[in-house]
């Protein structure tokens, strides 16, 4: 397993650094941070007037991913394959992983391996310029697969 969540030393997640200060994406991120602190959730997610909806959604998707990654990183030492042998939502629901590549059929994975696969898959989407362009004004395919 990778160091995606601090479990090894091969790879560490780093937030995207390609949003330079002064860009529109930087401004949108700062606006989102300011409105989140206001306590008004409706204001925090409302598209600012005159802004591109896809860019606004991309900023929030990246930030959401980063926050989830950090949150999961705080529990990795407690959720080992031995302690968390299945990915579940209580006793009635078990999650199976299928990615069409390594896992061609729904497969049982220990929770840490499932989350690692999920976060790597999500990171792949975020790094795909056709889905989440790095530069302002680039068109997206709108396809999340």
pLDDT given at position 10: 33
Task: Specify whether the CB–CB gap between 29 and 63 falls below 8 A.
Answer: yes
- Tell me the CATH architecture of domain 3-127: Up-down Bundle (1.20)
How does pLDDT run across 29-80, given as a tens digit for each residue? 776 666 666 667 777 778 888 888 888 888 888 888 988 888 888 888 899 9
Q: Is the pLDDT of residue 144 over 50?
A: no
Q: Where are the domains of the chain?
A: 3-127
Mean residue pLDDT across the chain: 77
Helix, strand, coil proportions of the chain in percent (round to 5)? Answer: 40, 5, 55
The tokens for 75 are 């529990």
pLDDT given at position 7: 40
Q: What is the DSSP letter of 57?
A: H
SS3 for 21-41, per residue?
CCCHHHHHHHHHHHHHCCCCH
84 is annotated as contributing to ligand binding:
yes
The tokens for 130 are 């056709």
């Amino acid at each position: 397993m990778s160091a995606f969540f601090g479990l090894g030393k091969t790879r560490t997640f780093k937030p995207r650094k390609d949003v330079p200060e002064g860009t529109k994406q930087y401004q949108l991120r700062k606006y989102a941070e300011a409105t989140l602190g206001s306590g008004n959730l409706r204001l925090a997610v409302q598209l600012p007037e005159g802004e591109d909806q896809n860019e606004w959604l991309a900023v929030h998707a990246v930030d959401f991913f980063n926050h989830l990654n950090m949150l999961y990183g705080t529990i990795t030492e407690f959720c080992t394959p031995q302690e968390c042998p299945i990915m579940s939502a209580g006793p009635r629901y078990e999650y199976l992983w299928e990615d069409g590549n390594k896992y061609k059929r729904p497969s049982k994975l220990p929770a840490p391996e499932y989350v690692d696969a999920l976060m790597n898959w999500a990171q792949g989407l975020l790094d795909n310029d056709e889905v989440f362009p790095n530069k302002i004004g680039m068109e997206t395919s709108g396809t999340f697969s």
